[in-house]
Amino acid sequence: MSRIVLATHNPHKVEEFGAIVAATRPDLEVIGYDGPEPVEDGVTFADNALIKARAAAAHTGLPALADDSGICVDVLGGAPGVFSAYWAGHKKDAVANLELLLDQLADIADPHRTARFVSTIALVTPGGDEHVVEGLWPGRLARRPSGDGGFGYDPIFLPDGQGGRSAADLSAEEKNAASHRARAFVALAPLLADLER
């Protein structure tokens, strides 16, 4: 079985990507990255995804995928955006990030709580080929968390077309079929198909 490294130390993302990749390339095993974390000093999702994928490919000698993703809130001009993981400070505290965002939007009426999850995925090969794809998952923000699944901002994100359920209310299968990462992966799949088997 061929292997591809996902440039993250987040086991949730490895599991999610593994399920998405298996649907198209069951012969391709997604493994987590055990190397040093590069400094993510890009100003766009694409910048940061490429930084991580380049580091993982160089460290492991394997093709590398890296996802840089976040939530973009329209009334905040697209913020938190690339700062989603650090919205409440550099501790990367998901609960604090979520609570801060809810507090900032406390007085915002429902019609103005539109948002989208963005996933930008970079694929970098040891030979230096680089590709970037993007997926958007539109929706709006709830006033309080709901659901036990997912992670990060999932409990307050109400994706369009899901009957008011949060991303954390969806089953793993439902989320993997509709999420921003799944949408980015649709564009990524032909690139993975071209990787050596």
Rounded Cα distance, 128 and 5, in Å: 15
In 3D, which of 17, 23, 15, 29 has the Cα closest to residue 63?
29
Report the chain's C-alpha Rg in angstroms.
Answer: 17
Judge whether 68 counts as a catalytic residue. yes
28 sits in the region (left: phi over 0; alpha: psi -120 to 50; else beta) called beta
SS3 156: helix
Which residue in the list 67, 68, 154, 169 is annotated as catalytic?
A: 68
Rounded Cα distance, 70 and 45, in Å: 8
Distances (CA, A) of 72 to 82, 101, 116, 194: 9, 11, 5, 32
**Residues labelled catalytic:** 68
